[in-house]
Amino acid sequence: MPVGVHSEVGPLEEVIVYRPGREMDRLTPSNKDDLLFDDVLWLSQARRDHDVFTKTLSDQGVKVLCLNDLLKEALQDEQARSYVVEVSFADEYYGVTAAAALQEYAKSLTGSALGDFLIDGMTKRELDEFVGHVPSTYFHRFQGDDLVTPCLPNLYFTRDPSAWIYGGVSVNAMQMRARRREAFVYNTVYRWHPRFKGEDFDFWSRGANAGYSTVEGGDILVPGNGVVLVGLSQRTTPAGVERLAQSLFRDPHVRTVVGIMMGQERAQMHLDTVMTMVDERTFMKYQHLGMLETVVIERGPSGGLSVRVKDREDMHRVIANAMGVGDLRFLTTPESGPNAERGQWNDSCNLLALRPGVVVAYDRNERANEYLMSEGVQVLTVPGGELGRGRGGPRCMSCPVVRGSVVVD
């Protein structure tokens, strides 16, 4: 089927996931904060839990593409290998001598081994074993099991670095340094993997280091009817939202981008940690989110943008008006304040819709799941004990590639 995501809740046909691997064993109590984790994962259990997640999707008729495999298959192409080696081991980061040594080593690898190297990183001990001693200002700072090239443990949250929006994809410039190299993985896959190489789609962004202009996929919701919702969060900036909007407006079917002005905090790092859709007109919303200011962005004169700021009490009405509907339903789990905060921290609002009224949720959020079911939503639960340690739920772990539209009237 042609690639493209035309709604949040239309039938999910095809999705990219990433099965956690050896890079998780690089997480330690001393580096976990830099790598954006609150704890180290039990890898074998995380893999078993992730297998349940992917089986749940497959059993519901969703075609599951594994990013691990996509990358290695794309790297069979010589141009793909040249591109990813050049951008991943640039001298502006490693210095001239270290970059030259890393590029030479990377070029000697097969496509499969190169894929592992890009994701798993390399310790100083491994550098000495596989590359040998390299006189380098950069390498001199490391010893033993220090990572001389970083690993990518956040890669199993496939939503953030790559977001399909209507007929194109945004390979995102990530806010946090630990995640910026993930864009290189997706650019490689989308440019050279056979699944995408012959497809006709737009690149809304190619993930270039854009300074203050960052957008992450967890902040992007596609409710349909030519509307895009974007959270201005800890990870997505005003400059990033406006640049994305200007790019999206190349598509005549995209009418409106609504920015939602969120708090700048880790607990609510993305919009989908506090609000996701469960059917065409229904959102699951975190109890303590409240009403927020919104920014309505539309096409302006001479190729520019028209920006209107709306008061916080108008938030629901602004979203409904943009979608062209009379009203929307917002569900909030009825529970005490502390329990609501615990649920949000455990991704109770981070739901992946498979089709209208059918969602995937973490099993640990029992109260929220019971409430959803009482409201007529079918909830398919998957284990979240290990996977949730990275602060992300089922929506975070999925990058829809093909999803149909819905009729919203």
Catalytic residues: 396
- Would you state the structure tokens that stand for residue 345, as one six-digit string? 């921290």
CA angle, residues 344, 349, 354, in degrees to nearest 5: 155
Report yes or no: 14 and 65 within 8 Å, Cβ to Cβ. Answer: yes
CA–CA separation, 125 vs 332, rounded Å? Answer: 51
Task: State phi, psi for 118 to the nearest 5 degrees.
Answer: -60, -35
C-alpha to C-alpha distance for 289 and 279, rounded to whole angstroms: 20
CA neighbor of 212 nearest in space, from 177, 182, 237, 246: 237
Q: How far apart are CA 17 and CA 49, in angstroms?
A: 13
The DSSP annotation for 195-218 comes to HHHT---EEEEE----TT----GG
What tokens does 277 get? Answer: 């859709």
**Alpha helices by DSSP H, 95-137:** 96-107, 111-120, 124-130
Contact predicate 127/186, CB 8 Å: no
Strand, helix or coil at 12? strand
Q: What share of the chain is helix, strand, coil (3-state, %, to 5)?
A: 40, 20, 40
Q: Which residues are CB-neighbours of 48 under 8 A, at least 6 positions away?
A: 383
Query: Distance between CA 187 and CA 406 in Å, rounded?
Result: 29
Gap between the Cα atoms of 73 and 79, Å rounded: 13
d(CA 272, CA 256): 19
Question: What does the alpha-carbon distance between residue 260 and residue 271 come to, in Å, rounded to a whole number?
Answer: 8
E strands in 280-386: 282-285, 294-299, 305-310, 329-331, 352-355, 358-362, 378-382
Q: CA-to-CA distance for 21 and 351, rounded, in angstroms?
A: 24
Q: What angle do CA 37, 240, 259 make, to 5 degrees?
A: 95
